[in-house]
Amino acid sequence: MRMLALHLAVLAGVAALQFVLPAYHHTNAARILVLATYAIGFNIAFGYTGLLSLGHALFFAGGMYATGLLVDQGGWQPWAALLAGPAAGGVLAAGVGLLALRTAGPAFMIVTLMFAQAFHLAILYWGRFTGGDEGFTLSGAARRLGPFDLADPATRYGAAFLLFAAAMLGCLALVRSRTGRVLIAVRENEERTRMLGYDPFRAKLLALVLSGLLSGAAGATYGLMFGYVGGSFAAIQYSILPLIWVLLGGAGTVLGPLLGTALLFYLIDWASSVTTASQFVVGAVLILLVLFAPRGLLGLLRERGLRSLP
Amino acid sequence: MNRETILHPTRRSLLAGGAAALTAATLPRFVQAQSSEPIRLGFQLHRTGIGAAYGRWYERTALAALKVVNEAGGIAGRPVEILFEDDATDPRRGAEGVEKLASQAKVDMIFGPLFSHVVIAAAPRAAELKIPYLVCSEGYHVASGKLNRWTLQPGITDVRAQVTAMAPWVTQNLGKKVTMIFPDYAFGHDHRDFFTEAVAAQGGEVVAQIAIPPTETSFTRYFPRIPRDTEVLYHVMVGPAVLTFVKELGEFYGSGAKPEIFGFIDSLEAVDIANPGLQFLEGSHFWEGQCRMLQPDASEAETFYRDAVGVDANGAAIEDPKNVSCYGHMFSVWETLFAIKQGMEACSWRGPQDRQAFVEAVEAFTEMPAGRERPQGAKVFNPKLHQVFGHQFISKLEGGKLVKVHETSLEDGIYPSDVDYLATSF
Amino acid sequence: MDFGPFLLLAVMEGLVGAAVLALTASGLSLVFGVLRVVNVAHGEFFMLGAVAAWFVSQWVPGPPALAFAVALVACPLLVAGLAALADRLVLKRLAYEPEATIIATIGLLYILQQAALTLYGPEARPVPPPFEARLQLPWFGWSGYKLFVIGAAGAVLAGLWLLLARSRIGLVMRATQIDRETATAFGIDVDRVYAGTFALGAALAAIAAVLIVPIQQAHYLMGGDPLLLSFIVVVIGGLGSLRGTLVAALLIGVSDGVISTFFEPTLAKILATLLVALVLVFRPQGLFGARA
């Protein structure tokens, strides 16, 4: 109960933030919420189920392109196209999962990486439709969900918040459910889980599909919110980023993804304002952080007392 | 994190060129202005990432132009500052940078980006923030109608016009059977589509199109695809692997018969043409946005610009002859700053409330004569396309020097288009 | 060009790629095998080797061959020293915890990249080859230096094999790899073995870079692809199997060239990428890995 209250308080805080933040940080917060949703999706596979994928950009960009192409070239209504995003993420994850989950550990990392790389190359290759590396912009009409215009800052924040809140509460419900405990059991000891009568393959596939679904939803929302769909979101960098966010915040924690995403975002923002050698500062801080909290910030908190943190 | 440091990025303000020294007290020229409040321009800079070689010179050119502008009394009598924001040559960071410059640093307008994916990602944000966004990107994206009313390109000709202008000379002087080698992404595809079209219009033929996958570091295996009857080899490779490309091409053909070679200087921007391995290019031709090496007939404006930026006759930094500039492109930064000055003065700029008036003032541009503001040469601005059209140069590499052999006329680059930004809303 | 020579050229090009990849990947494979961590900064060690070779070529007077020889010795040593330092200062303190190591080496990657950008610059710079030679075949010309690269990489790999299979150092490394506890019990200084292996892995990447840089130029972002390709090769070959790494490098290097003769280049890359995924799907332990 106390934990539920904590998470609701965080959500309330995030919701209230929009009224006090100046314009620049207001937009940043909206970005962070959507990217944190992506991180939550990644965390379900990686943090809770132990599936270290290096190919999540496939699901994020897959959702972004599904929505973007349908609304831009398919003539779909924006809300319908928006729903196609998570669907695409989920379907792609199911497809990848059916093949990739035959492997584990480093082989799983490579297989997921390869599928994502193939997708990235395909986006460049079929540039006539996808715009290749340049991508394409979405018109104002493509970004209006009924009466809600995603180009409007307050609406955009609201949409980002709703997406994030749904993802976070969904994640919280999942990890406290029986299914969630099976996922964690698979992470801890797959053989034992099998002997207890569960099917680890099914559990892992479920985790990956949920993960892909959230990633696709985040990608689709991001595209509509900022009016741009581009190949760089399918590049390997966008598979590595959620890993960094989740590890910084604390893998296998519900709030870790938000914390990690916000932390890295503002770390880069701050570093580039104090020095032109900003990557140096970012690198050094990452190393210091990991020396100080090898299991992420919330992982540290969990070790230092807050054991019940989900 | 300390909220204070986020909201007050003092270090960045210090990057504002020579503006700090230019207070109204020390420079009486500013006194007559109604307001001596500095005009603040944001510059979206490829400081890191794949565009960093360009970024370094774009920054240098911007600071040189800034100095000239301020020494001549600024814009409408007000001093000018430039705030540089790194975008890591990444589309997401680019969009964030536009927000940061507009909302946090509260600049009056933003200019400077080159890489087209950054421009295309950031342009919608500029339009939402209703801030003029003047890009220095030669891709065919402003003129194609993909962007918006707030995005303008008054400093450099787009790639469609460049290749259209050049095709007649290539087919008449080098050959009619062309093989194209280009990177397999949007920039290369623009070349592929428009040059093929332009060559066909001249009665020539593109006999093969060889698209090289991005991130490729070795090229020899693609050369056998070049048909034997190729008369002209057209290359637009970009990125760090370009030298490899040229060297391997040289090894492949050796001293035997080879086609004429025509390339875009994009391949060799920031690269010393005297590098070992580049001898193979001797006798080949290049498109140049502006002639890197000082030509005998260079205008006074050109030498003035060259000196102001600190570039020697070979196109390298005066202080370091090995540090070669991006001379074929960076004039766009200089000319864009002067276009901003012209536009601001035309709309009697007071502050951000005049941003729309500024765009309309630029849309009133037509003839843009040569001069110190435009050292690359005269241009014509097409308001409907938000795009400028200028002269293009073809140079031949002779004895390690790039020698100008042809200058296209302004009309050569004009292509039909039904894009009309004037009909779109702000 | 006829298909025969076309294929020959593709295979020869593939062999150069494979030789350099084998060297780079063997470094990653050693680190992976002994320390059980993924070194994300491995590609940056490769980049540092190339950048350092450029500096050497500027500072060492005389014929290019001399500068090349100096670079071939000095650059790997320098990079190995840096790697050992990173191991002592960071990785050891993290107890080689795999996830923390990923973050730490990503941090290292950022630092090394920025250092190269600041001290060396954003341009791609060429390094002269030790000798100029061009091979003229009946159908096309080819760089003689590329032949040398294949030979030199082969020699270094043979030396590495001797080191691992025949020397005491190799024995100690293998013992640590198989069972850390027992190795400690036998008086092996595991910390030193780890630092040494990490340094050796980085040095191999640097050697590969010094060999390739006369063909490819040094650039501060050049580390990305070698890292990815090495990682793929190590896993396809089978974790902990150096032989597997070598075979996989050869397979991937050559097949990449050959596939590209049949399809449009980018399409060929897409197919090759999917092929790697499928190989692992049907043989998750890799070509030479023991079944888990």
So what's the pLDDT on residue B22?
Answer: 42
CA distances to B117, B186, C200, C255 from A231, in Å: 9, 10, 37, 26
Contacts of B214 in chain A (CB under 8 A): 124, 133
CA-to-CA dists, residue A111 to A101, A198, C50, C280, angstroms: 9, 25, 30, 7
Q: How many domains does chain B have?
A: 2
Residues B144 and B209 in one domain: no
The two tokens of residue B196 are 């093929």
- Identity of the residue in B48, B210, B240 whose CB atom sits nearest the CB atom of C117: B48
- Both B62 and B112 in one domain: the answer is yes
User: Checking DSSP bridges between strand B133-134 and strand A144-145, what pairing results, if any?
Assistant: unpaired
| B270 to chain C: closest CA residue | C123
Per-domain boundaries in chain C: 3-282
Burial of residue B399, with CB atoms counted within 10 A of its CB: 0-12 exposed, 13-18 middle, 19 or more buried: exposed
Helix (H, G, I), strand (E, B) or coil at C142: strand
Q: Is residue B302 part of a domain?
A: no
Could you read off the pLDDT of B41-93 as tens digits, one per residue?
A: 999 999 999 899 999 999 999 999 999 999 999 999 999 999 999 999 999 99
Query: Domain check: are B189 and B87 in the same one?
Result: no
In a domain, A74, yes or no: yes
Most confident of B27-31, B103-107, B273-277: B103-107
Which 170-199 residues of chain B touch chain A by CB within 8 A? 184-187, 189
Q: Which residue of C has its CA nearest to A98?
A: C281
Give the nearest partner residue to A284 out of C100, C111, C284, using CB atoms.
Answer: C111
- Judge if B385 and B401 occupy the same domain: no
Q: Is residue B172 part of a domain?
A: yes
CB burial string A196-214: b at 16+ within 10 A, e below: eebebeebbbbbbbbbbbb
Are both B21 and B148 inside the same structural domain? yes
Predicted complex: ipTM over 0.95:
no
Q: Which residues contact B225 (CB under 8 A, 6 or more apart)?
A: B208, B210
Confirm or reject contact between B91 and chain A (CB < 8 A).
Answer: yes
Do B150 and B163 fall into the same domain?
no
Best CA proximity match to B281, nearest among B321, B225, B327, B237: B237
Q: Which of A121-125, B73-77, C288-292 has the lowest mean pLDDT?
A: C288-292
Q: Is residue A120 part of a domain?
A: yes
Domain membership of residue B38 (yes or no) is yes
Q: What is the pLDDT of residue A124?
A: 92
Residue-number span of the structural domain to which B187 is assigned: 159-288+391-413
Please, which residues have CB within 8 angstroms of residue A22's CB and are 6 or more apart in sequence? B7, B103, B104
- A-contacting residues of B 222-281, CB under 8 Å? none
Asked if A125's CB is within 8 angstroms of C107's CB, the reply is no
* A-chain residues near B139 (CB < 8 A): 134
Chain C residues with beta carbon closer than 8 angstroms to that of A243? 102
pLDDT > 80? residue B114: yes
Question: Is position B424 within any domain?
Answer: no
A122 in any annotated domain = yes
Give domain status of residue A75, yes or no. Answer: yes
The number of distinct structural domains making up chain A is: 1
Contact partners of A by the rule of 3+ C-beta pairs under 8 A? B, C
Minimal C-alpha gap between A121 and chain C (Å): 6
Q: Is the pLDDT of residue B276 over 80?
A: no
Per-residue pLDDT, averaged over C166-189, amounts to 86
Q: What is the CATH number of the domain that holds B145?
A: 3.40.50.2300
Contacts of B among chains (3+ CB pairs under 8 A)? A, C
Does B13 lie in the same domain as B137?
A: yes
Q: CA–CA separation, A256 vs A268, rounded Å?
A: 18
Domain that includes residue A206, residue range:
2-238
Query: Touching check for B104 and chain A: CB below 8 Å?
Result: yes
B143 plus B211 within the same structural domain: no
A124 touches chain C (CB under 8 A): yes
Cβ of C122 within 8 Å of Cβ of B210? The answer is no
pLDDT of residue B18: 42
Is residue A275, in this structure, part of any structural domain at all?
Answer: no
Helix (H, G, I), strand (E, B) or coil at B216: coil
Hey, what's the torsion of the CAs at A6, A11, A12, A13, to 10 degrees? Answer: 90
User: Of B47, B123, B61, nearest to B89 (Cα)?
Assistant: B47
pLDDT tens by residue, A165-214: 999 999 999 999 999 999 999 999 999 999 999 999 999 999 999 999 99
Q: A-chain residues within 8 Å CB-CB of B11?
A: 273-275
Q: Is residue A258 part of a domain?
A: no
Cβ of residue C106 closer than 8 Å to a chain A Cβ = yes
Tell me if residue B127 falls in helix, strand or coil: helix
The reported pLDDT for the residue numbered C211 is: 97
Classify domain C3-282 by CATH number.
Answer: 1.10.3470
Mutation for testing the C interface, residue in A54, A280, A282, A303 having most C CBs under 10 Å: A280
Q: For residue A302, is it within any domain?
A: no
pLDDT (tens digit per residue) in A217-238: 999 999 999 999 999 999 999 9
